[in-house]
Every structure is written in C-alpha cells, then in structure tokens.
C-alpha cells in the first residue's frame, strides 16, 4: 500500500475465485485515513454483531445480499449500498455467491466467521 498521502498506482483488485471452498473471503484493497476498503466474496450468513464505536458501509458488486438489522431484512442489488450505523446489531447473509465492497475501521480483523478448521470460516444459515 502507498505511504499516507502518496498517490497509489492503479491496480487490479485481488482475484476472488468463483469456486472458492469456503463461504467468506475478504481482502483489503487500500487504506483511507483510519479506514480500510475491502473486497469480499461471500456466501451464507455471518453471525449477528455490532460495533459500538463505528458503522460499516457495504456496496454490492454482484449478487443479492441481505442485511438483517433492527428487526428487518434489507435486500441489496448490484450497485446499491447501505450503511449500518454504529451500535446496530446486524448480520449480512448471501443466499448465493455475492461480491461486495466494504468500508470499515482499519483495526477490524476480517475473520469471515468463526473458524471451523484450519483457516476455514463457518457459515451461519439462520
């Protein structure tokens, strides 16, 4: 990644294998101030969680993910985005393979779910 304040060179995002053998794969593309932009290829559901200090932003590249928050589910289509406000208990889920861009604080470690084996995150279907 370029040094803070340096203009980065154009580059292709990391390859996200359409036949990956695990349901969540997040890769950090860049840092912007105190946040990171990540590309995620997801399928299945993530556990419910909240962030007390910061919100999250999701932008759909392909697929149709759902965000469950505040007692309702919001379906997003390609080129649609949504902000989950700080403190909101939420989870994302994707019935089929979905690619999203996420912006979140740089200190968040992208686990992709709870481990169910060496480096393999779990899907949470409920």
Q: Residues 24, 121: contact at Cβ < 8 Å?
A: yes
Per-residue model confidence (pLDDT) at position 122? 39
Residue 116 has pLDDT above 70, yes or no: no
pLDDT digits (tens, 9 = 90+) for 66-101: 999 988 999 999 999 999 998 999 999 999 989 999
Short-list 94, 111, 110, 101, CA closest to 40: 101
Give the homologous superfamily in CATH for domain 24-105: Jelly Rolls (2.60.120.10)
Q: Which pLDDT band holds residue 120 (cuts at 50, 70, 90)?
A: very low
Residue boundaries of the structural domains of the chain: 24-105
Residue 124 has pLDDT above 90, yes or no: no
Per-residue model confidence (pLDDT) at position 46? 83
Burial class (CB in 10 A: 0-12, 13-18, 19+), 41: buried
- C-alpha to C-alpha distance for 107 and 98, rounded to whole angstroms: 24
């Amino acid at each position: 990644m370029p040094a803070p304040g340096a203009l980065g060179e154009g580059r292709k995002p990391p390859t996200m294998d359409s036949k990956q053998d695990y349901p969540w794969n997040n890769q950090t593309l860049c840092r912007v101030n105190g946040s990171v932009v990540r590309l995620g290829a997801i399928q299945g559901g993530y556990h419910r969680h909240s962030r007390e200090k910061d919100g999250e932003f999701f932008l759909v590249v392909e697929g149709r993910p759902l965000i469950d928050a505040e007692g309702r589910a919001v379906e997003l289509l390609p080129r649609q985005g949504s902000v989950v406000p700080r403190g909101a208990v939420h989870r994302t889920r994707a019935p089929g393979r979905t690619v999203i861009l996420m912006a979140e604080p740089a200190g968040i470690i992208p686990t992709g779910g709870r481990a169910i084996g060496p480096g393999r995150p779990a899907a949470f279907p409920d």
